[in-house]
Amino acid sequence: MSKLTETIEAVAQMILHEKDYLSDLDAKIGDGDHGINMARGFGAVLDVLDELDHPENPKLVLHTVGETILENVGGAAGPLYGTAFLRASDACSEDEKLTIASVDRLLSAAIAGIKKRGHAERGDKTMLDVLIPIHECFTAPYAEGSTLYECLADANQAANEGVEYTKTIAARKGRASYLGERSIGCEDPGAVSSMLMFRAAYQFLNR
């Protein structure tokens, strides 16, 4: 098993563990099923990772995860997260190594996919309010002179701050947008799931 597949397994376990928390957050401003949908999808991801013929191929791993999420995660999250993994796979080589530059390139592709699929931008109270600050920690000039693990630590903090930021703004996308100003004060569930996914990856890689 490769480090990437082990990292994704850690991410999946985090989502399964926080399923009820994510659904409780979603119940405040959405349908209340974000955790259920995410857990269903990442449960399926765990199953397919066990069956992969070439887990050492990061391009294949990311593509398989993207397809699995698209097929198994309901609501808006499935198309967005699925697209993110697929676009990252498109930008990934079959022998990709974990470096600041590779994280920068793959996150850039994933975020571009989410923006196009969701017609969203930073400040709309979505997962992008976490993913874009994470990505910035791996770009110049932020990452200059830093090690990979310093960038990961900075990005973990940026993810937490991104979630807090979503409390201060009104939702402009999805069902939460129907609430308008009443959505202020609540975290965006997609931002929280993105933060938790990165936290799981950071904790695993930092071991």
pLDDT digit string, tens, across residues 178-205: 788 888 999 999 999 999 999 999 999 9
The pLDDT tens digits for 7-49 are: 999 999 999 999 999 999 999 998 899 999 999 999 999 999 9
Burial of 168 (0-12, 13-18, 19+ CB in 10 A): exposed
pTM of the predicted protein model:
0.95
Burial of 131 (0-12, 13-18, 19+ CB in 10 A): buried
The pLDDT tens digits for 144-175 are: 999 999 999 999 999 999 999 999 999 988 87
Domain containing 71 equals: 3-205
How many CB atoms neighbour CB 150 within 10 A?
13
The pLDDT of 131-135, averaged and rounded, is 98
**DSSP for residue 18:** T
**Phi, psi of 57, deg, nearest 5:** -95, 100
Question: How many domains does one find in the chain?
Answer: 1
Residue 77 vs residues 144, 189, 198: alpha-carbon distances, Å: 33, 10, 16
Amino acid identity of residue 101, one-letter, is A
Which pLDDT score, from 0 to 100, does residue 18 have?
A: 98
CATH value at residue 26: 1.25.40.340
Q: Which residues of 16-54 are buried (b: 16+ CB within 10 A; e: fewer)?
A: eebbeebbebbeebbbebbbbbbbbbbebbeeebeebee
